[in-house]
């Protein structure tokens, strides 16, 4: 087996010189079957026992400076001296950190070659090998453990340079604020890392203490007052070796939180101020207070209450958040006020706080009368006038009032804004009358409303004025009867085969005095009902029209039908209109046969049939066009345009008697034709 130098047979350990090694023989933990077991010679009755050596750990202090240093010598008894080659492997030899240990391969001496640092490696576990000169293994590898003994070579380190804590003023002794803790890199199992804490300096006589073991800082004495000392700066020390070794320091900053231990006080017992007679909400003046508590906190902010002298609630007091002063504003005015005002904090006062010697103050306010502007109590004033009311019609009486009841002032009135010059105003009474008829439509109306401004002025020096808005609704009157549009048309003369025509109308009145319209055959000609009928038609895009239908087969030719048109106004207006109808020969599809219209209206010059051909060509260019006698919806969006069948253009008049001017009334698409054939 491996044999360290300096061992004895038996149970006693061998003790060598300093740096040598002490060991006991132990049974081998892993006997190797490939070697002959090592035995002792039996003496005095002893039996041969298979033994091996376990080398106890070797201790060496960190920072050892005598380098190289002999740690231990190992030997194998398998060969004669000089016949064994020794080697070691492991961390510190052939593993990081390299080169710390080495062995003399012939003598088996293990050396330390560099200083050790326990904080980097506290122990090394190596393997020792024994080979013969041929490189064959003589022994099983044995463990060699080297323990690095700690030295006090590290100062304590606080977790941070500055510790911050807070505690309320007036806190009881023993109230803990924070913990200023430190650490030490040395061996925690030794006194090298045993820390003790202390306060070196705190600026005041013992207001705080520190737990020597944990570093917890607590209050030590009563009497913490933020108004006297608001911040404490402590110098804290940590020392190892239980307080006798290396030291380090840190700063502990302790802030005192404010409590409401100081009541607010008025700066004087009486305040005086003046205010002019004005509208509500005007600031009169300030009352000043002083509070020692933390500015801006609820313990500092003042709250004011009027205790006496203001039964009507004429005054209000608010707190200026920047200065903590009380700002008095007036809502109602009298000749003179004498107020008693109290002050306290928003936060309740601490029970132990002293009472304020100036919690009440007297405020005397003298009100100066000044001229105030007139006031329109109803602004805007809304009234209604019938459309077309004659000049001189009374609209309303629009007057203002003067708040200065003690000053005998006279108000006068004038029209400040009357864009259409429709009104006249009595300057003394404020009565508004019409100056001319108020009619629809007008560019000065907005949704049927006319807006005017009335000025009221007093006779003070200097005079003050007020402006009132007069909104006049022009009520629509049903003063226009409906007008047939268009006044002519073409139908197929056979019932059920295109013999129908849509009827429309226009009305200059605004809703509800216009559509829907009512169409009927003239009651004065009851015989028309044998051949014709009119029914109501309500289609998409068609606001109340009529549908004219042929009841019996009629011969071709012109017809004149007297119609009665009526609107939906209250009361309704009606008109007698003459509808010119051309009855044509029906084709199989219900339309007029080709050439029929041209033949029936032929004459000198350009006939209306030729005009129809031109119109048909134009409409073909516009896209898909429905056939004749269908309900084509006319798409001109101007005033009074209606839907009309395309076949309703033809009339039975001759070219000499034909009036083409009505084409211009059918919208922009027909205006060019009206210009060509109306000349």
- Read out DSSP for 433-455? EESS---SS-TT-BTTEEEEEEE
Judged against a pLDDT cut of 90, whether residue 456 lies above it is answered with: yes
CA distance 282 to 521: 75
| pTM, rounded to two decimals | 0.45
Band (pLDDT 50/70/90 cuts) for residue 546 is: confident
Last residue of a domain, one of 151, 180, 203: 151
Tens-place pLDDT, residues 264-323: 999 999 999 887 765 567 888 999 999 998 999 999 999 999 989 888 888 889 999 999
Q: Does any domain span residue 143?
A: yes
Same domain, 605 and 497: yes
Band (pLDDT 50/70/90 cuts) for residue 666 is: low
Residue 167, classed as helix, strand or coil, is strand
Tokens at 401, concatenated = 């009032």
Last residue of a domain, one of 118, 151, 184: 151
Residue 621, classed as helix, strand or coil, is helix
The confidence score (pLDDT) of residue 90 equals 94
The confidence score (pLDDT) of residue 101 equals 95
Angstrom distances, CA of residue 654 to CA of 278, 472, 555, 608, 677: 84, 53, 19, 8, 14
Tokens at 313, concatenated = 């609630």
The confidence score (pLDDT) of residue 368 equals 66
Q: Does any domain span residue 376?
A: no
User: What's the mean per-residue pLDDT of the chain?
Assistant: 77
Same domain, 51 and 131: yes
Same domain, 345 and 400: no
Tens-place pLDDT, residues 355-408: 777 778 888 776 666 778 899 989 999 998 887 788 999 999 999 988 876 667
Q: Could you tell me the CATH number of the domain that includes residue 624?
A: 2.60.40.60
Same domain, 417 and 459: yes
Same domain, 42 and 91: yes
Q: Does any domain span residue 568?
A: yes
Between 371 and 245, the higher pLDDT residue: 245
User: Structural domain tally of the chain?
Assistant: 5
Bridge partners (DSSP) of residue 468 are 454
Give the dihedral sign, CA 10/13/16/22: positive
Q: Directed axis angle between helix 668-677 and helix 608-621, to 10°?
A: 150
Between 426 and 600, the higher pLDDT residue: 426
Domain with 415 in it: 381-475
The confidence score (pLDDT) of residue 371 equals 76
Between 24 and 478, the higher pLDDT residue: 478
Same domain, 66 and 122: yes
CA 229 to chain centre: 43
DSSP annotation of 652 reads S
Same domain, 17 and 108: yes
The confidence score (pLDDT) of residue 522 equals 86
Q: Does any domain span residue 300?
A: yes
Average confidence (pLDDT) over 225-232: 92
Band (pLDDT 50/70/90 cuts) for residue 333 is: low
The confidence score (pLDDT) of residue 65 equals 87
Band (pLDDT 50/70/90 cuts) for residue 167 is: very high
Between 31 and 162, the higher pLDDT residue: 162
Tokens at 604, concatenated = 């000198």
Tens-place pLDDT, residues 49-65: 344 567 889 999 988 88
Band (pLDDT 50/70/90 cuts) for residue 516 is: confident
Judged against a pLDDT cut of 80, whether residue 660 lies above it is answered with: no
Same domain, 602 and 570: yes
Give the dihedral sign, CA 182/185/186/190: positive
What are the DSSP E strand ranges found in 517-603? Answer: 518-521, 532-537, 545-550, 557-566, 574-584
Same domain, 494 and 540: yes
Angstrom distances, CA of residue 28 to CA of 7, 49, 146: 17, 11, 20
Same domain, 168 and 316: no
Angstrom distances, CA of residue 660 to CA of 295, 648, 679: 92, 14, 9
Q: Does any domain span residue 502?
A: yes
Q: Does any domain span residue 96?
A: yes
Is the distance from CB of 652 to CB of 642 less than 8 angstroms?
Answer: no
Q: Does any domain span residue 373?
A: no
Last residue of a domain, one of 204, 234, 257: 257
Tens-place pLDDT, residues 104-160: 998 899 999 999 998 899 999 999 999 988 888 888 898 999 999 988 889 999 999
Same domain, 530 and 669: yes
The confidence score (pLDDT) of residue 678 equals 54
Strands 423-425 and 431-434: what pairing? antiparallel
What would you report as the CA-atom Rg of the chain, rounded to the nearest whole angstrom?
60
Judged against a pLDDT cut of 50, whether residue 20 lies above it is answered with: no
CA distance 27 to 50: 8
CA 489 to chain centre: 65
Q: Does any domain span residue 182?
A: yes
Residue 608, classed as helix, strand or coil, is helix
Strands 176-179 and 101-103: what pairing? unpaired
Tens-place pLDDT, residues 570-625: 788 788 888 898 888 887 777 787 554 433 433 322 333 333 444 444 444 344 43
Whether residue 415 is preceded by a cis peptide bond, meaning omega within 30 degrees of 0, is no
Same domain, 453 and 492: no
Q: Closest Cα partner for 320 from 342, 356, 288?
A: 288
The confidence score (pLDDT) of residue 53 equals 60
Judged against a pLDDT cut of 90, whether residue 469 lies above it is answered with: yes
Whether residue 575 is preceded by a cis peptide bond, meaning omega within 30 degrees of 0, is no
Q: Determine the longest span between alpha carbons in the chain, in angstroms.
A: 170
């Amino acid at each position: 087996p491996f044999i360290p130098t300096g061992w004895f047979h038996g149970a006693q350990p061998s003790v060598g010189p300093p740096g040598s090694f002490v060991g006991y023989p132990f049974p081998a933990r892993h006997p190797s079957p490939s070697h002959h077991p090592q035995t002792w010679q039996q003496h005095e009755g002893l039996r041969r026992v298979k033994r091996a050596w376990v080398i106890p750990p070797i201790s060496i202090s960190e920072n050892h400076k005598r380098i190289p240093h002999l740690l231990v010598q190992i030997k194998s008894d398998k060969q004669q001296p000089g016949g064994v080659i020794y080697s070691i492997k492991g961390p510190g030899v052939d593993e990081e950190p390299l080169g710390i240990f080495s062995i003399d391969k012939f003598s088996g001496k293990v050396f330390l070659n560099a200083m050790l640092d326990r904080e980097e490696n506290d122990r090394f576990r190596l393997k020792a090998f024994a080979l013969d000169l041929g490189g064959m293994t003589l022994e099983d590898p044995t463990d060699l453990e080297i323990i690095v003994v700690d030295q006090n070579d590290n100062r304590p380190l606080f977790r941070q340079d500055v510790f911050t804590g807070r505690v309320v003023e007036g806190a009881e002794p023993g109230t803990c604020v924070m913990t200023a803790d430190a650490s030490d890199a040395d061996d925690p199992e030794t006194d090298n890392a045993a820390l003790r804490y202390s306060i070196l300096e705190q600026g005041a006589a013992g207001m705080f203490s520190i737990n020597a073991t944990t570093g917890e800082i607590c209050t030590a004495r009563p009497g913490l007052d933020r108004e006297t000392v608001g911040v404490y700066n402590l110098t804290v020390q940590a020392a190892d070796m239980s307080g006798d070794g290396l030291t380090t320091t840190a700063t502990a900053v302790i802030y005192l939180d404010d409590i409401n231990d100081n009541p607010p006080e008025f700066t004087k017992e009486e305040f005086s101020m003046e205010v002019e007679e004005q509208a509500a909400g005007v600031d009169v003046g300030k009352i000043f207070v002083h509070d020692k508590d933390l500015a801006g906190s609820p313990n500092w902010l003042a709250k004011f209450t009027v205790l006496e002298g203001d039964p009507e609630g004429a005054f209000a007091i608010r707190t200026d958040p920047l200065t903590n002063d009380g700002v008095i504003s007036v809502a109602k005015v009298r000749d003179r006020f004498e107020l008693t005002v109290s002050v306290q904090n928003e936060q309740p006062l601490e029970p132990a706080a002293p009472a304020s010697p100036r919690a009440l103050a007297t405020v005397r306010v003298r009100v100066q009368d000044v001229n105030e502007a007139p006031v329109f109590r109803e602004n805007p004033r809304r009234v209604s006038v019938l459309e077309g009311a004659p000049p001189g019609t009374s609209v309303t009486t629009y007057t203002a009032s003067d708040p200065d009841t003690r000053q005998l002032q006279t108000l006068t009135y004038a029209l400040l804004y009357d864009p259409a010059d429709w009104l006249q105003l009595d300057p003394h009474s404020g009565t508004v009358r019409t100056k001319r008829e108020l009619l629809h439509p007008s560019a000065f109306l907005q949704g049927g409303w006319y807006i005017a401004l009335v000025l009221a002025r007093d006779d003070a020096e200097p005079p003050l004025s007020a402006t009132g808005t007069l909104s006049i609704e022009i009520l629509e009157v049903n003063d226009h009867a409906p007008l047939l549009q268009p006044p002519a048309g073409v139908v197929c003369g056979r019932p059920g085969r295109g013999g129908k025509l849509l009827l429309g109308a226009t009305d200059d009145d605004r809703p509800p005095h216009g559509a829907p319209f009512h169409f009927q055959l003239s009651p004065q000609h009851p015989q028309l009902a044998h051949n014709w009928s009119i029914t109501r038609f309500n289609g998409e895009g068609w606001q109340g029209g009529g549908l004219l239908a042929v009841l019996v087969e009629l011969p071709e030719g012109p017809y004149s039908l007297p119609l009665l048109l009526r609107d939906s106004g209250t009361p309704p207006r009606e008109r007698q209109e003459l509808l010119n109808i051309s009855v044509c020969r029906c084709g199989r599809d219900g339309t007029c046969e080709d050439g029929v219209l041209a033949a029936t209206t032929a004459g000198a010059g350009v006939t209306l049939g030729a005009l129809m051909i031109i119109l048909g060509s134009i409409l073909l260019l516009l896209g898909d066009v429905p056939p004749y006698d269908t309900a084509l919806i006319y798409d001109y969006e101007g005033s009074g345009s209606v839907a009309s069948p395309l076949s309703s253009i033809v009339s039975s008049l001759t070219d000499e008697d034909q009036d083409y001017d009505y084409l211009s009334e059918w919208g922009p698409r027909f205006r060019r034709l009206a210009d060509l054939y109306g000349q």
